[in-house]
Amino acid sequence: MLPFSGIENPYKIGAYSVDTNAKVLQRYRFVHDGLVRLAAGQLPARENWDLKLTLAKHIYEDAEATDELRNRIRELRSSQASLQQAPDAALSLLLEELIHAQNDLELLVGIYEVVRPALLATYQKHMSTTQQIVDQPTIRILRTIVLDLEAQIQWGNEMIASLRAEGEAHEGLDEFKRNLQSLLAAAGGIDGAETKSTELPRRWRSQQTYQLPMKSVRDPKKMGPTTWARTSVPNLPDDAVQQRLVMMMRVRQEEMTAVELIAAVLYAQQNMPWEFYHDLARHLWDEARHSMFGQAALEAAGFDWMHQPQYTSDYDVNVHKIPGVKYTWLSIGIEEGAMKRTGKRAEYEFCRDEAKHPLMTQFQDYDWADEVVHANLGRKWTPELLGEDIEFVRTVAQHELDHFWEEVQNAQQQWMKTQSGA
Ligand SMILES: [Fe+2]
Ligand SMILES: [Fe+2]
């Protein structure tokens, strides 16, 4: 179709004025932003490995959606301040109840059977009923979000079916789902277009504030126990170069602990600009990808990593620290520290020149690139988090590293003792 740049139905009046459009987009933004935060709060507490990795991916995708919606809302005669507001009490309560999911299946059903299908249906309606010329910039954004939503829902459905097949379903699950559905109905749906209830629902579990776990969780049925010591994998090769390579794969795989640390910061740190949460969503997804680098390399080489003890020190040793100190420890202490000649570059060159392992060489090449970005994120945000300049922050980071290595070395010695005693 040549006229109107291929835009269909150019003469048709649309369903949204500028004001109503801004109003519904605020609600969409609020839900994606809420999903970012609640998934971050839940991630360290969840058991299933594939679920943990996927929460990280979807946190990143929801943060991208939030960012695009915020930009579009500002084009619709809306103030910057309006982007901080909660548009609907029932929608707020929906997200506040959802973060109280008590197991993997509850969280999955809440996100992938209640919230995301409602988002998808709303965006399909929006794209087809809005005036196609005036609202083309919104349509373009929603189309990309719909692509993500379709893939997310499909993944969620498969995961739910798999956990149900393993007998994970329990009695309270239906009640949890019904509660969330009634909250969504009370809000008049995602866009508030359905009849809203004047009888606002009561709090259920959200009477208590959600607490991050004090210890990382790993799947007790499928994985080894959590540990603060670095452990190996069975059938380690005799050759020293090959040993170092396999241990590098294993350290990558265990970066889940960094994912959880950033998730805790993203969830708990209040009152930062949106850009901070957007950056951390990406940082967190990068660490989940690094974890997959290790998983993929170990599996491709035939090593069993899943039944081995799982290193969780990044989260567990730092759990009592305030979010700003947690982020300083990671981004300045560890990640800026890895920019030395002996750090990320050396790992990449080792894989390329000594181990001569093409897959790990490629992984470490990108790992190094990501870590350059992460060290920059540290320099960008830690001074604001601590209210001090970068030199002060670096001293804090050194202090925190000393404490961390002391704890980890103690754990390592304990582990060696149990190994030699066995
Ligand atoms: Fe990493
Ligand atoms: Fe990193």
The DSSP-derived string for 310-323 is EE-HHHHHTTTS-H
pLDDT at 422: 57
Task: Tell me which H or E stretch contains 228.
Answer: none
Q: Is the pLDDT of residue 406 over 60?
A: yes
Q: Is the pLDDT of residue 420 over 90?
A: no
Q: What is the pLDDT of residues 197-236, one digit of tens each?
A: 888 889 999 999 999 999 999 999 999 999 999 999 999 9
Q: Is the pLDDT of residue 280 over 60?
A: yes
Mean pLDDT over residues 293-303, rounded? Answer: 98
Range list for CATH 1.10.620.20 in the chain: 3-200
Find the ligand nearest to 287 CA.
1
pLDDT at 222: 96
8 by DSSP, 3-state: which? coil
| Euclidean distance between CA atoms 1 and 6, whole angstroms | 5
Q: Under CATH, what is the fold of the domain 3-200?
A: Ribonucleotide Reductase, subunit A (1.10.620)
Find the ligand nearest to 339 CA.
2
What spacing in Å lies between the alpha carbon of 371 and ligand 1's midpoint?
6
What spacing in Å lies between the alpha carbon of 382 and ligand 2's midpoint?
15
Mean pLDDT over residues 282-296, rounded? Answer: 98
Looking up tokens 């998934």 gives 39
| Euclidean distance between CA atoms 115 and 54, whole angstroms | 16
Mean pLDDT over residues 260-286, rounded? Answer: 98
Mean pLDDT over residues 281-304, rounded? Answer: 98
Cα→Cα distances 262→188, 265, 359, 363, 382, Å: 34, 5, 27, 21, 13
pLDDT at 376: 98
| Euclidean distance between CA atoms 305 and 107, whole angstroms | 26
What are residue 226's DSSP bridge partners? Answer: 310
What spacing in Å lies between the alpha carbon of 312 and ligand 2's midpoint?
15
Residue 156's identity, in one-letter code, is G
Find the ligand nearest to 335 CA.
2
What spacing in Å lies between the alpha carbon of 242 and ligand 2's midpoint?
24
Lookup: tokens for 408: 């980890």
What spacing in Å lies between the alpha carbon of 75 and ligand 2's midpoint?
34
Q: What is the pLDDT of residues 105-128, one digit of tens each?
A: 999 999 999 999 999 999 999 999
227 by DSSP, 3-state: which? strand
What spacing in Å lies between the alpha carbon of 297 and ligand 1's midpoint?
15
Q: Is the pLDDT of residue 92 over 80?
A: yes
What band does 314 get if pLDDT is binned at 50, 70 and 90? Answer: very high
What spacing in Å lies between the alpha carbon of 246 and ligand 1's midpoint?
16
| Euclidean distance between CA atoms 381 and 283, whole angstroms | 12
Task: Tell me which H or E stretch contains 226.
Answer: strand 226-227
The CATH class of the 226-421 domain is mainly alpha
What spacing in Å lies between the alpha carbon of 286 and ligand 2's midpoint?
7
What spacing in Å lies between the alpha carbon of 286 and ligand 1's midpoint?
7
Find the ligand nearest to 293 CA.
1
Mean pLDDT over residues 310-331, rounded? Answer: 97
| Euclidean distance between CA atoms 62 and 32, whole angstroms | 5
Range list for CATH 1.20.1260 in the chain: 226-421
Find the ligand nearest to 373 CA.
2
What spacing in Å lies between the alpha carbon of 32 and ligand 2's midpoint?
24
Q: What is the pLDDT of residues 174-186, one digit of tens each?
A: 999 999 999 999 9
- Look over the chain and give the mean of its residue pLDDT values, rounded to a whole number: 96
Of the candidates 326, 316, 338, 337, the one whose C-alpha atom is nearest the C-alpha of residue 262 is 326
| Euclidean distance between CA atoms 385 and 380, whole angstroms | 10
What spacing in Å lies between the alpha carbon of 290 and ligand 1's midpoint?
5
Q: Is the pLDDT of residue 417 over 70?
A: yes
What spacing in Å lies between the alpha carbon of 125 and ligand 1's midpoint?
40
Spatial contact of 37 and 266, defined as CB atoms under 8 Å apart: yes
Percent of the chain clearing pLDDT 70 (strictly above):
100
Q: What is the pLDDT of residues 23-74, one digit of tens each?
A: 999 999 999 999 999 999 999 999 999 999 999 999 999 999 999 999 999 9
